Amino acid sequence: MTRDTLSITDNRTGQNYELPVTDGTIRAIDLRQIKVSEEDFGLMAYDPAYLNTASCRSTITYIDGDRSILRYRGYPIEQLAEHATFLEVAYLLAEGELPTREQLSRWEEDVRYHTYVHTNVIKFLTGFRYDAHPMGMLLGTVGALSTFYPDAKNISDAENRYTQRVRLMAKLPTIAAFAFRHSRGLPYEFPRNDLDYIANFVNMTFSIGGKHEPNKVLQRALEILLILHADHEQNCSTSAVRSVGSSHVDPFSAVSAGIAALYGPLHGGANEAVLKMLDQIQSKADVPKFVEQVKQGKGRLMGFGHRVYKSYDPRAKLIKRTADEVFEQTGLNPKLEIALELERIALEDDYFISRRLYPNVDFYSGLIYQAMGYPSDYFTVLFAIGRLPGWLAQWAEMLGDKEQKIARPRQVYVGEDERQFVPIDQR
């Protein structure tokens, strides 16, 4: 009968150890018993960037990187993108079940009720330079919201956590839309409670003189994109929210840490970097030259590759399909031709095949956002609106996990041994 254990022989001492294997993992703390002497601290696992470290047990999102599978609470992303609304998915991620009609309408009503921000937030936003990056504005403003809601510190109270979740879901689109208006020098368009979540966000962003002709196809396409971005297990920004949240700070501060991580070009900032890359390539004819430069290590093919997906990102497939519907409304984005050629060449080239590099969620999303009228520096803001429900669900799961405590990794010290202070005139 096979035993779910790992037998380890420490050749330094000849000692044998038996470690339990659970869910395909050993507990790193079980390594500490492996010592060369009584005063030895014991073995640790060394894993820079946590390439092979599970930080938690989660029931929220399941990814199979080899089989291009992504499920939220067990539901395939393809079905949620086709049938669900974004607020329905946000409810599912947080509560673990799809809402009944009554639960959904209460959730929608609660969110609709909280879409306004304190007028001081507007003063705060107008303080940014005219050309401030909207992600920097979002990062600063969401963090500042913690000063408007000091009750949010009471994270141990479930009702209070729900209130803060509603406030963040309701106010992030308002702040995002105001950041857009700020960059255009336009007066802010305030939330309208007669519109649904997506229509309200689009109206606050694009309406002129209170008028914006809604395009239902584009609004549904935006909603699908938000659904596809809603959660993705322990990605960089979610890990940031969990880690910062583990200090028991309020959720506004923890989410602002997630926004900061998402801002980076290797993570959520990649959709903006893809458009910059396509602008740099300029034409389809220039694609082979660009690919050669990437293969020589001169830069990366932005929107390609993934830590977990070593196959086609299932979201990229759905986004590509959504792109066709959007371009029918807006006219073809000329950069799509370059992107399709890039994908065609990369998927045939051994450099990318051998490294299992495929288009990820960011490769095509920017083309759609641009066709919808968003500037490239705003794409990651849209990613943040999509990812917010995932951050909030993961934050709550971390708080409720009895095994979790404040995140505080260890290190391997490779610096100087003890040495004496040297007075400045002897240095």
Per CB under 6 A, the list member of 142, 255, 281, 357 interacting with ligand SDX is 357
Residue 266, interface with ligand SDX (CB under 6 A)?
A: yes
Per CB under 6 A, the list member of 118, 153, 212, 307 interacting with ligand SDX is 307
Q: Residue of minimal CB distance from ligand SDX?
A: 305
Residue 270, interface with ligand SDX (CB under 6 A)?
A: yes
Crossing angle, helix 314-330 and helix 216-228, to 10 degrees?
160
* CA-angle at 59, arms to 54 and 64, nearest 5°: 65
Whose Cβ is closer to ligand SDX: residue 114's or residue 267's?
Answer: 267
114 is catalytic: no
Query: In 267-280, which positions are buried (b, 16+ CB within 10 angstroms) versus exposed (e)?
Result: bbbbbbbbbebbee
Whose Cβ is closer to ligand SDX: residue 90's or residue 301's?
Answer: 301
Give me 213's structure tokens: 């002709």
Question: Are the C-beta atoms of 303 and 271 separated by less than 8 Å?
Answer: yes
Provide Rg for the chain, Cα atoms: 24
Q: Tokens 């708080």 sit at which residue?
A: 399
Distance CA 183, CA 185 (A): 6
Kindly indicate which of the ranges 91-99, 126-134, 296-304, 337-345 contains the residues binding ligand SDX, using the contact rule CB under 6 A: 296-304
Per CB under 6 A, the list member of 191, 258, 305, 314 interacting with ligand SDX is 305
- Helix then strand count (H, E) for the chain reads 17, 5
196 is catalytic: no
267 is catalytic: yes
Residue 250, interface with ligand SDX (CB under 6 A)?
A: no
Distance CA 76, CA 87 (A): 17
Question: Are the C-beta atoms of 422 and 270 separated by less than 8 Å?
Answer: no
Residues 6 or more apart whose CB falls under 8 angstroms from that of 86 comprise: 197, 198, 223, 226, 227, 230, 386, 389
Question: Least separation, in Å, of the C-beta of 270 and ligand SDX?
Answer: 3
Per CB under 6 A, the list member of 303, 314, 366, 386 interacting with ligand SDX is 303
Residue 367, interface with ligand SDX (CB under 6 A)?
A: no
Question: Are the C-beta atoms of 390 and 230 separated by less than 8 Å?
Answer: yes
Active-site pick, 231, 306, 313, 377: 306
Residue 61, interface with ligand SDX (CB under 6 A)?
A: no
Question: Least separation, in Å, of the C-beta of 218 and ligand SDX?
Answer: 22
Per CB under 6 A, the list member of 35, 153, 300, 317 interacting with ligand SDX is 300
Question: Are the C-beta atoms of 343 and 299 separated by less than 8 Å?
Answer: no
Pairing, β 75-76 against β 69-72 = antiparallel
Residue 342, interface with ligand SDX (CB under 6 A)?
A: no
Question: Least separation, in Å, of the C-beta of 359 and ligand SDX?
Answer: 9
Active-site pick, 362, 401, 417, 425: 362
Residue 306, interface with ligand SDX (CB under 6 A)?
A: yes
Please, which of residues 215-244 interact with ligand SDX by CB under 6 A? Answer: 232, 235-236
Distance CA 294, CA 46 (A): 30
Whose Cβ is closer to ligand SDX: residue 153's or residue 267's?
Answer: 267
Contact residues for ligand SDX (CB under 6 A)? 232, 235-236, 266-268, 270, 294, 300-308, 355, 357, 360-362
Task: Supply the residues annotated as catalytic.
Answer: 267, 306, 362
